[in-house]
Amino acid sequence: MLVAVLVALVVLTLLATAIATTSERAIREARENTDAFEAEVAMTSTRDTLLFMFSTQRRTFGGLTIDKQVSWSAGQATASRSTDLDDSGLPPMLPIGNEIRLDGTAYQGLNGARFALQDDGGRFSPNWTFDLYHPGLFTQLGVPVEQWPELEAKRLDYQDPDDLFRLGGAEAGDYHTKGLPPPTNRPLTTPLEVRRIMGWGDALKGLDDSRLVSLLTISRSVMVNVNTASPEMLQTLPGVDKDMAQRMVAMRQTLPFMLNWQFLDTFKLPLDELAPISMLASNSGTLELWHNAGGPIRLVHWTLTPGDEGGRPWRLDYTLVLPRDPATDQTPIRTIPSPLFADPGTPGR
């Protein structure tokens, strides 16, 4: 009888332990699911808030404005109207100083979300760009000079609608022979698709996806925006080395570039005033989102579509989920002095 009681006690103890462990695991999983859901809501809300601002706010040489103010001297600001010129006679694209930068600067979003906006003019577009920038791009990608002509021929054959071979190119038959998916015969739809082009996958195998999407875009942007381009992208400009690119970035932090001739003259670049550079942001770009609670980075490509009659004012072209570099959590985070990004407990929100 005593043995039976002891056995029963052992069984009950084991059962209680199992129930406690299972309950603890269930509570932990429920908490993790709740945290993940709240992070998802925070990132989605941040994304939609920014897209709303893109549809309703001006963009200046400095980035995306956060209110209806425009200023042209320290301590002075006047309300801006939605016209090409305001009452002062000065263009509304003049920088204010409190814009959300479109150069990959990290900001505090809603409820623990973080974000960084990058204008497409700050990245290289393999779909639509000038030959002027190809040497600089291939150099940044780490591709040997002797491979440049062949890779460019294969890219063009991959995209064009015909089956005619370029010198060094490749068409559907070549892909079939190597057991590769056939060329799409259209422009790339995401930066990562460039790996599907014959020869490009091998040439870029040393670059991870995060690095690749930081350099490339699929937009129709054909100009380098010197106010938003990364130091690597600035080095695709003829005559620009690493040190000069860093100086350009440092100068635009104080005051964005506003005149082509002034920019070219300042750095003595071998380009004329008609060179394919820009200083105002384009109508498309990327938004990187992450949360302070952890998880991967989500990269969303957006395009503003104000001309789509009866449609939405923006379009989401694709979303990529990228691994989160631990260095991301060490990135300085800026705050935005706008009620749209105020803490939920802030009065007047």
- Provide long-range contacts, Cβ within 8 A and 24+ apart, for 136-142: 136/235, 136/236, 136/237, 136/238, 136/240, 137/215, 137/236, 139/235, 139/236, 140/215, 140/232, 140/233, 140/235, 140/236, 141/203, 141/204, 141/207, 141/215, 142/206, 142/207
Does a structural domain hold residue 56?
Answer: yes
- Burial (Cβ within 10 Å: 0-12, 13-18, ≥19) of residue 307: exposed
Q: Are residues 36 and 165 in the same domain?
A: no
Mean pLDDT of 328-333: 82
For 114, phi then psi, to 5°, come to -125, 155
Last residue of a domain, one of 181, 203, 225: 203
Is pLDDT at 348 greater than 50 in this prediction? no
> What residues make up the domain containing 326?
1-128+208-349
Is pLDDT at 176 greater than 90 in this prediction? yes
The per-residue pLDDT for 197 is 94
Q: Read off the pLDDT of residues 282-297 as tens digits, 9 standing for 90 and up.
A: 999 999 999 998 889 9
Bin 284: left if φ > 0, else alpha if -120 < ψ < 50, else beta: beta
Is pLDDT at 301 greater than 90 in this prediction? yes
> From CA 113, how far away is CA 333, in angstroms rounded?
11
Q: Read off the pLDDT of residues 129-172 as tens digits, 9 standing for 90 and up.
A: 667 778 888 888 888 999 999 999 999 999 998 888 888 899 99
The per-residue pLDDT for 82 is 43
Last residue of a domain, one of 156, 175, 203: 203
Secondary structure (3-state) at 40 = helix
Does a structural domain hold residue 90?
Answer: yes
Domain count, the chain: 2
Q: Read off the pLDDT of residues 268-280 as tens digits, 9 standing for 90 and up.
A: 888 776 678 899 9
Secondary structure (3-state) at 187 = coil
The per-residue pLDDT for 347 is 41
Q: Are residues 234 and 273 in the same domain?
A: yes
Q: Are residues 106 and 172 in the same domain?
A: no
Does a structural domain hold residue 3?
Answer: yes
Q: Read off the pLDDT of residues 92-106 as tens digits, 9 standing for 90 and up.
A: 788 888 899 999 999
Per the CB < 8 A criterion, the answer to whether 113 and 205 are in contact is no
The per-residue pLDDT for 222 is 72
The per-residue pLDDT for 346 is 42
pLDDT, greater one: 244 or 14: 244
Q: Are residues 221 and 344 in the same domain?
A: yes
Q: Are residues 264 and 318 in the same domain?
A: yes
Does a structural domain hold residue 137?
Answer: no
Q: Are residues 150 and 124 in the same domain?
A: no
DSSP 25: H
Q: Are residues 15 and 108 in the same domain?
A: yes
